[in-house]
Amino acid sequence: MDLFTAIDVTKKFSNHTALDKVSVTIPENSIFGLLGPNGAGKTTLIRIMNRIIAQDEGELYFSGRKLSPDDIEKIGYLPEERGLYKKMKVGEQALYLARLKGMSHDDAVKKLKYWFEKFEIITWWNRKVEELSKGMQQKIQFIVTIIHEPRLLIFDEPFSGFDPINVNILKEEILDLQKKGVTIIFSTHNMASVEELCSQIALINKSKKILDGNVWDIRKAYKTNTFELHYTGYNGNLRDFLPAQFEVTDQSTINDHFIAGIRIPQNGIPNDLIKEVLPYLKIQAINEVIPSMNDIFIRTVTQQVNIPVTQPEVSL
């Protein structure tokens, strides 16, 4: 079942089109990556989802029916540009924000104390926000985003300002929230995090959706029939004996063996490559190179013009 759907959403500001008939479908209990370069339209779409601004055209659906003002309390939103009242005490402000989300005083205090202790920041309860580091403020905002236990969480660059240890802590919490049934929209420029956390993505560029689908299926669909060959017994250039239809993309040495990237013809199979190299070297391993989401992001945004909106069917 899909929790959130946007259909043909369009938004214009003066002479600028921020979104041009963008459609996305967020499956329930998924971590969905909303990707795109700066200025692509991601934040505009997120603000429309939260009813901070209204779309000019298109429809929004939450849990199978049109999005209504009452649905907003079921959404938690952590924006990229954070904002806390610096002169307020940390606990006082967190409690105030929790009450704005409809929580009772006692329930808010109980749950806030739980999360403050879990994140080891309970000693900062009575300190002013301005005394906190950026990373510490990020933890406070993460807590107040999830405190009312919404069905949908929208995180815009949630790891910004965190050191690697705290990034891992936050990742674990996000995965735990998903296990509890929460649906998460995850907007980031960190493609490694996308591969690690997201099952589905949509890529927006210049106001249009240019790619969407399952992360692993997309990566397989962008394969180039390139293989990484690990070998010993030959230290020359593989181009010296490989037929012209085999393209050597790179060669390097690591520890006690050599590595080469080799692209074989699209109608070829790894056995064809093995047959060609066996007379000259000893194969240690051969692995197919699956493009990373970072490679695909760069390729689709900077190199391709006419890109299918829906990811093509993968041939295995």
Summarised one tens digit per residue, pLDDT across range 58-113 is 999 999 999 999 999 899 999 877 678 888 999 999 999 999 988 999 999 999 99
Residue 199 has pLDDT above 70, yes or no: yes
Statement to judge: residues 20 and 163 lie in one domain? yes
Selection from 166, 167, 199, 204 nearest residue 184 by Cα: 199
Q: What is the pLDDT of residues 257-314, one digit of tens each?
A: 999 999 999 889 999 999 999 999 999 999 999 999 999 999 999 874 444 434 333 3
Cα–Cα dist 33/31, whole Å: 7
User: CA–CA separation, 20 vs 228, rounded Å?
Assistant: 40
Number of domains in the chain: 2
pLDDT by residue (tens digit) across 101-125?
889 999 999 999 999 999 999 999 9
CA-closest candidate to residue 202, choices 188, 222, 220: 188
Q: What is the CATH number of the domain that holds 49?
A: 3.40.50.300
Q: State which of 219, 235, 266 marks the end of a domain.
A: 219
Instruction: Answer yes or no: is pLDDT of 315 > 60.
Output: no
Residues 214 and 232 in one domain: no
Same domain (yes/no): 73, 7: yes
Q: Where are the beta strands (DSSP E) in the chain?
A: 2-13, 16-27, 31-35, 57-62, 65-66, 75-78, 152-156, 183-187, 200-205, 208-214, 226-232, 247-254, 257-263, 282-288
pLDDT of the residue at 313: 35
Q: Are residues 178 and 271 in the same domain?
A: no
Are 173 and 189 contained in the same domain? yes
CB 312 within 8 A of CB 221: yes
Classify burial at 150, counting beta carbons within 10 Å of its beta carbon; exposed 0-12, middle 13-18, buried 19 or more. buried
Residue 259 lies in a domain: yes
What is residue 82's predicted lDDT score, i.e. its pLDDT? 67
Torsion sign, CA atoms 92, 95, 99, 100 = positive
Average pLDDT estimate for 216-225: 94
Looking at the fold, whether 195 and 276 belong to one and the same domain comes out as: no
Which range marks the domain in which residue 214 is found?
A: 2-89+148-219
| pLDDT attached to residue 134 | 81
Q: Is residue 126 part of a domain?
A: no
- Average pLDDT (20-34) is 96
Residue 265 lies in a domain: yes
User: In the chain, pLDDT over 90 holds for what percent of residues?
Assistant: 78
**In angstroms, rounded to a whole number, what is the distance separating the alpha carbons of residues 215 and 23?**
17
- The predicted pLDDT at position 31 comes to 97
pTM for the full predicted model:
0.86
Q: Is the same domain home to 36 and 162?
A: yes
Give the pLDDT score at 233. Answer: 93
Return the amino acid letter for 291: P
